[in-house]
Structure 1
Amino acid sequence: MRKTVSLKFRDIIKANFPGLGKNISYWKFMRHLLFGRRDKVTGLPMISQRCIAKAEDKLNILENSNAYNASKFLVKFQSEVMSEETFSWSGWNFKDGESRVALVEFPQEVIDAIESESYKIMLKDRVYFDTGNKFSDKLQKVDRELIKKEAYTYFNFSSPEAQDLLEYMNNVPVNSFSKVVAANLDATFLQALKIENPEKRHVQLEVLSTIRDELQPFYKPSDKGNTVRIFPLNYSIPMLQKDLRKSITKGWYEFDLASSQLAIVGKTWEIPEVQEFLKSGGKIWAELINHYGIDAANLKKTDEAKYEDIKGVLKDSLYSLIYGMCKNNLIAFLNEGLLPFGVKDAGKKFLTHPLMKSLFEAREAKIAELNEADTAGTIFNKVIKVAGDKTKDGKPTAARKECIRGIMAQQAQAVELYLLLPVLDLAKTTKDFAITLWQHDGFSVNFNSEGRKDRWINKINQVVADRANELGIITKLEGGLL
């Protein structure tokens, strides 16, 4: 979420909401309403208990006791800054763990100002929204340290396997980001302005505005601690869509594990058809696109954006197939996802591909195997309880099947991290390069030494290849200079 705005914009907010006064908590919360995360379905501002506690500077109370009451703050904000007619909120959904959403009606002058502000990136009169203070490198550093401090409050939730990774990624020197952002931000911003979908454009512009203010990403573990994966804490480069991410990180190297999830389950679930396909050098996305009668190679060459969109649907579908989505839902998802590209009956056709048929059969066998177990383990020797009951005929209930699906994902994600950890070990031995982004099955690198770059690239590729060979998983790093 952006930190700075034009002085003119802040003055408009101040004039329309005099109740903000000098209350920093109110200003912080107003910034969240204006620029914070939106619900994907309704487009309304999401106001989690954590974001409200953060505005009040009461995260310590929230984290260390059950005494924090977000509703009290919302009631005060409503009465002193807005009104019942212009500001209200939904209830917290404890069952689904969903955040509140805010129902806000802004005056037309504010709506117009928000729209105008969204299209500004480099502001000469930048001020901090919360305080009105002029932007400075010194205050920017203070903000980064506060975000970093917040990141450490999540460490209690993290799995031991991810601790070193979190520690490293949250301590990457800021100059690894400042140069690349300064060089590429303007061009990336102009590229984002061309996004046709207004909601996507709004989100991406907000991310870019936040990168301008904060520069680097910080990471946190899963809130529930049920995966070794780590996630961006703040609006930052990993949250940009692929083309914008590549634009703003031009000059870095990006590495990805080839067909990582397919390769992992191909070995761990012992699927010979998948192993043979990967051993022969097969590319799964091209294979599936060709399966629909579309020339994948030609499409990638002539319309890379369309290729990536189709690949995105197929990637989600493959992962959904692997981790237990029922047939009917998978078919419906594919039918809807590929119809805009002229593909009819995409779901049923997807499941006729020999590799997908083998995957489905192996998945069902894995679910049955886990259903008979009391516990399961990951490659890091973490023991996970198989929770939930069975039906009278021994089948898993919906709750047990959901648990099994989660276990299967945890197991594969643990292998994914295990494959890449040698790169982290390598990075900790040198200042010649820094890992600048971490994206589950891939990462980006900023090389500080041009003369030793090629040697390090070879080492990075080799340590992952050695780990993959050790496990018998047919994958390798792909990628290169952005």
Structure 2
Amino acid sequence: MNDNIIHALVVQSKLAGDRSIAVSLYSDLIDMHPLLKTNEGYKRTTGYFLLGPHFRDEDTGYVLYPSTMIAQHMGVPYKHANTTRHLDDYKRDIAPSLEYSGYSKKDKKCRAILDTGMTELIDAVLEEKPEKKKYFYSGVVANEKNQLALDKQVHQEAKQQAFFYSDQRLIAGYLHRHPFSTFKRPVEENYEEARALARTAGMPKQRRHLLLQLQATRDNPKPYYYPVENNARIYSQSGLILMPKELRRTLWPGLFEGDLQSAQAGIMATLWGANLTSQILQDDVSLWDELMNQMGIVPEHKARAKPIVKQGYYSVGYGMKTGDVNRKVGTELGKVYIKRQKDMRFSDSAIMTDLLQARERTEARILKEGGMYGAYGWMPYYGQAMPSFHSHVLQTYELAIVAECFKVASDSQDFRIMYYQWDGFSFSVAPSREKRVVTSLQNAVQKKAREYGIYTKLVVE
């Protein structure tokens, strides 16, 4: 998630971030740092570091803490916030071991927390001793009554959102109407099993992250979705959708998952005229398998190589420089010891050459015409970063296609969609109705995709 998305989620859903903590641990924390009682900025920063839920850098795993978020925690407008001084003061007064980076203009990455200085405290939080809890920010007792009251407050807040697209409103409105108990029940029933699974994660940092995610989901099991400017997707900062698939399925077993197969690649190919990708998808051949064949990746290594190759494809699609993506893909393949029968740069494969040429033609047309059409009409180009513009346009088609499934759900009593996942969703259905429901969803996707000339389909597992 970029800085703008994180900022929008934090500002739009302040209440959703409240977290429970053992009363004894809370008291010890206040005794050690009395300033937490009087300095709300310090308290908010501590809560974020200690309890999460965290926004994390996908490449490094570091906790992200952008200036816009710090300003919100400080309770002052962004333009008046001295965020560096806040962190320096916080390091002096609360966490002497705190280490953090600055904003990277080159990589366009926000500030990352290299070391919170709270590892021992986080481990204490994760012990989960059987004792009473309270909410860290509001200070009220963490019980079922207050949990439900908190959810009602967040629900009312979510109703006030102004969405940019009608289908965003349709999806969010449908999901927000589900009862809180529908989400709370499976989380409570399967929490300990999911927690045991999370504790087997490889690295300590990853284990802590997953366990904090689980705790945050237990505190706030129902996700709420919010729009972000210049973005067709809607986002949530809580719930199962932020977890790895295996953990998600352990916490709520029995949910089906529907995904638009190679949706972004199909949309790019149609809009940009990347004919080779379109033909592969039209023939119902795996794009990723074909790309790995062109790169000479041996069959027994394809499973490890697929996510790397897939990320490389989309990196090119969203504007990463050719040299950078070649280095990234080459480095990542080397890390997992991928054997290749050809010494070929990623961008020199036929599929990637075709995509790069299509991107170049499309960008020239955007500059000449001042924009391009999205799924909901003309989208003017104002000189913003071209990758961001591409992303926004492509997401409108993704939204329009997946929204068809929510329209089917709105008119049906046979199943319920429980989570929105951008190019897919999770849903519950009785076994006796599964075949009929899946067919109706797949037909809805196929009809809408054909309307746009996009080659994708709904895959359910």
Into which bin does the TM-score normalised by the smaller protein fall? 0.7 to 0.9
> What are the Cα deviations for residues 109-130 of structure 1, in whole angstroms up to 9, with x where unaligned?
x64332132243x844333233
Is the Cα contact below 8 Å between 2:23 and 2:131 reproduced in 1?
no
Counterpart of 1:209 in structure 2: which amino acid? Answer: Q
How has the CA–CA distance of structure 1 residues 150 and 354 changed in structure 2, closer, same or farther, with 3 Å as cutoff?
same
Corresponding residue for 2:306? Answer: 311
Matched residue SS, 1:127: strand
Matched, 1:278 2:281: yes
> What are the Cα deviations for residues 384-431 of structure 1, in whole angstroms up to 9, with x where unaligned?
1252xxxxxxxxxxx7xx33x333322221111111121111222234
CA distance in 2, matches of 1:291, 1:324: 22
How has the CA–CA distance of structure 1 residues 77 and 30 changed in structure 2, closer, same or farther, with 3 Å as cutoff?
farther
Match of 1:326 among 305, 321, 336: 321
Is the Cα contact below 8 Å between 1:47 and 1:101 reproduced in 2?
yes
Counterpart of 2:24 in structure 1: which amino acid? Answer: K
Matched, 1:125 2:132: yes
CA distance in 1, matches of 2:363, 2:87: 48
Matches within 5 A, 1:198-237: 198-222=204-228, 225-232=229-236, 234-237=237-240
Matched, 1:168 2:174: yes
Is the Cα contact below 8 Å between 2:371 and 2:378 reproduced in 1?
no
CA distance in 2, matches of 1:451, 1:158: 38
Is the Cα contact below 8 Å between 2:103 and 2:111 reproduced in 1?
yes
How has the CA–CA distance of structure 1 residues 282 and 383 changed in structure 2, closer, same or farther, with 3 Å as cutoff?
same
Matched, 1:31 2:31: no
CA distance in 2, matches of 1:341, 1:217: 35
Match of 2:191 among 185, 189, 205: 185
Matched residue SS, 1:282: coil
Counterpart of 1:143 in structure 2: which amino acid? Answer: L
Is the Cα contact below 8 Å between 2:221 and 2:238 reproduced in 1?
no
Corresponding residue for 2:399? Answer: 417
Is the Cα contact below 8 Å between 1:420 and 1:464 reproduced in 2?
yes
Matched residue SS, 2:369: coil
Is the Cα contact below 8 Å between 2:36 and 2:43 reproduced in 1?
yes
Matched, 1:475 2:456: yes
How has the CA–CA distance of structure 1 residues 93 and 144 changed in structure 2, closer, same or farther, with 3 Å as cutoff?
farther
How has the CA–CA distance of structure 1 residues 317 and 151 changed in structure 2, closer, same or farther, with 3 Å as cutoff?
farther
The alignment's TM-score, normalised by the length of structure 1, stands at 0.78
Is the Cα contact below 8 Å between 1:333 and 1:347 reproduced in 2?
no
CA distance in 2, matches of 1:263, 1:150: 36
How far is 1:182 from its partner?
A: 2.5
Corresponding residue for 1:249? Answer: 252
How has the CA–CA distance of structure 1 residues 315 and 368 changed in structure 2, closer, same or farther, with 3 Å as cutoff?
same
Matched residue SS, 1:372: helix
Range with bigger deviation, 132-141 or 86-95: 86-95
How far is 1:332 from its partner?
A: 0.8
The alignment's TM-score, normalised by the length of structure 2, stands at 0.81
Matched, 1:380 2:386: no
Corresponding residue for 2:31? Answer: 15
How far is 1:258 from its partner?
A: 1.0
Counterpart of 1:426 in structure 2: which amino acid? Answer: V
Corresponding residue for 2:124? Answer: 116
How far is 1:92 from its partner?
A: 7.8
Matched residue SS, 2:134: strand
CA distance in 2, matches of 1:201, 1:245: 15
Counterpart of 1:428 in structure 2: which amino acid? Answer: S
Counterpart of 2:25 in structure 1: which amino acid? Answer: F
How far is 1:98 from its partner?
A: 6.5
CA distance in 1, matches of 2:96, 2:398: 50
Query: Which blocks of at least 5 consecutive residues in structure 1 are unaligned?
Result: 301-306, 388-398
Alignment root-mean-square deviation, CA: 3.7
Corresponding residue for 2:7? Answer: none
CA distance in 1, matches of 2:373, 2:424: 24
Counterpart of 1:455 in structure 2: which amino acid? Answer: R
Corresponding residue for 1:136? Answer: 143
CA distance in 2, matches of 1:85, 1:242: 37
How many residues matched?
441
How has the CA–CA distance of structure 1 residues 294 and 180 changed in structure 2, closer, same or farther, with 3 Å as cutoff?
farther
> What are the Cα deviations for residues 338-396 of structure 1, in whole angstroms up to 9, with x where unaligned?
11121378994433432222222222222222232223221210421252xxxxxxxxx
> What are the Cα deviations for residues 101-158 of structure 1, in whole angstroms up to 9, with x where unaligned?
679875xxx64332132243x84433323355432111111222333344456x3474
Is the Cα contact below 8 Å between 2:366 and 2:381 reproduced in 1?
no
CA distance in 1, matches of 2:121, 2:417: 38
Counterpart of 1:336 in structure 2: which amino acid? Answer: T
Matched residue SS, 2:437: helix
Matched residue SS, 2:223: coil
Range with bigger deviation, 457-466 or 183-192: 183-192
CA distance in 2, matches of 1:325, 1:347: 22
CA distance in 1, matches of 2:322, 2:115: 40
Match of 2:65 among 46, 60, 63: 46
Counterpart of 1:369 in structure 2: which amino acid? Answer: R
Corresponding residue for 2:6? Answer: none
CA distance in 2, matches of 1:463, 1:167: 20
How has the CA–CA distance of structure 1 residues 472 and 125 changed in structure 2, closer, same or farther, with 3 Å as cutoff?
same
Range with bigger deviation, 367-376 or 97-106: 97-106
Is the Cα contact below 8 Å between 1:7 and 1:127 reproduced in 2?
yes
Is the Cα contact below 8 Å between 2:18 and 2:135 reproduced in 1?
no
How far is 1:299 from its partner?
A: 6.1
Query: Which blocks of at least 5 consecutive residues in structure 2 are unaligned?
Result: 1-16
Is the Cα contact below 8 Å between 2:225 and 2:234 reproduced in 1?
yes
Corresponding residue for 1:338? Answer: 333
Corresponding residue for 1:458? Answer: 439
Corresponding residue for 1:264? Answer: 267
Corresponding residue for 2:203? Answer: 197
How has the CA–CA distance of structure 1 residues 93 and 150 changed in structure 2, closer, same or farther, with 3 Å as cutoff?
farther
CA distance in 1, matches of 2:127, 2:18: 13
Counterpart of 2:65 in structure 1: which amino acid? Answer: M
Is the Cα contact below 8 Å between 1:256 and 1:441 reproduced in 2?
yes
Is the Cα contact below 8 Å between 1:220 and 1:231 reproduced in 2?
yes
Range with bigger deviation, 38-47 or 366-375: 38-47
CA distance in 2, matches of 1:135, 1:278: 51
